[in-house]
Amino acid sequence: MTTMTEAASGLREFKMPDVGEGLTEAEILKWYVQPGDTVTDGQVVCEVETAKAAVELPIPYDGVVHELRFPEGTTVDVGQVIIAVDVAGGAAPAAPPAPPQAQASAAPAPVPPAEPVAPSGESEAAAQKPKPEGRKPVLVGYGVAESSTRRRPRRVVPSQQSEAVAAVAVVHAELNGHAAPAARPLAKPPVRKLAKDLGVDLAAVRPSGPDGIITREDVHAAVAPAPAQAPPVTAAPTATPAPAQDRAPAPLAPYDGARETRVPVKGVRKATAAAMVGSAFTAPHVTEFVTVDVTRTMKLVEELKQDKDMQGLRVNPLLLIAKALLVAIRRNPDVNASWDEANQEIVRKHYVNLGIAAATPRGLIVPNIKDAHAKTLPQLAEALGELVGTAREGKTSPAAMQGGTVTITNVGVFGVDTGTPILNPGESAILAVGSIKPQPWVHKGKVKPRQVTTLALSFDHRLVDGELGSKVLADVAAVLEQPKRLITWG
């Protein structure tokens, strides 16, 4: 789809692209440029959140930013123009768009921000300083980034220029009859979302991060109740306390006195909610449970951590649980299938794209490891490490979340014993892993403390009957109880 058009006076308009497959809208999380900024081909200009992931958008040409059509936090339909760039360098930049609240008011338009003024002796050096190279594109169709783990550094006005910039902005505002605009608080998108969920005004938060960036700890500190101060010592008689039933109940959390807070459901969370409802009421779910002694598996994990062939790789119980599930699927291949409603057919898959449920600041996502069935243990460990790291950074691509066949969800990391997981849409089974902890267990005729966990397997009963589901779950448990079966069964 074409994402740019050419307008009069050398202006080119960049439209919101379809960054996934069939997505219809995306929310603008962060603008990395402002009107008047110079951009180069491939430079990331904004970050958007779709129903599947957060994606950075690169601009496909050189020029000067003329106008940003939408403010941060706006949900924009695919195909709408979001930024205009003057490729000829002659058009005057337009003021950045006001937030929706400001657009609805009758207040005059804000004064464009003044140009930064460098201290004496630094202007010439700053002007001659070479511009950094543009960010390598990360959107499909424009190439790939050099590193998927590096984020574009935030552009911050140096502290030496702060006073001069503030002075110019105040004088400019006073001459035009307006109050000087307050500086926008610096915070990363996950921190902004946290503040929004907690009802915290970032402008009132004291930053503790580098260059004045607000951290998650700063937001939590802003909502923490203030420490009680000792009452002054006076000679006044002690007042009789009011009856307990007459006191107002304490709120669950300090939301500025409000008893309720409404949080818009959009992006990844909205898509997840729709998918889970569709899955729960489309596929007939069956869940089975088994409690198993995994002491030998935990010992093997510690041994693998010391193995030179596994050095630098992510080695944990989840790695061996994933391998155990892959062995169980190999022994029971009919479980790896999907239901074709239109053709009334069961589609058996001869490959395993293993999904791993991951909790992220934007909600639950399920990226999958492509062709996990063909990977060795070190290769599987490497793939798991990359998947988890990418998810934590919010860089999981839509393609990484498509085409899954079975999924593992590790609820044990939250101290939960087990659960009844809902199938990821289009998949046949999902394995929930509970917490692993010492429990009394009969071992070799004696009660001993052993490392024990509970597994839960949910499956689509249209595809998997009780016998097949039981065999798969029993095989996973057997491998974890006797991990040498990874060799004899694998």
In the numeric block, which tokens belong to residue 146? Answer: 């050099």
DSSP, residue by residue, 384-425 = HHHHHHHHHTT---GGGGSS--EEEEEGGGGT-----PPPPT
Please name which of 349, 326, 357 lies closest in space to residue 428, comparing C-alpha atoms.
349
**DSSP SS3 for 172:** helix
Position of tokens 């081909």?
A: 41
Tally the residues of the chain.
490
Query: Has 461 been annotated as catalytic?
Result: yes
Distance CA 29, CA 72 (A): 5
Distances (CA, A) of 312 to 305, 309, 379, 389, 392: 9, 9, 12, 14, 19
By the 8 A CB rule, do 430 and 408 touch? Answer: yes
Question: Cβ(456)–Cβ(279) under 8 Å?
Answer: no
Radius of gyration of the chain (CA): 28
The residues carrying an active-site annotation are: 461
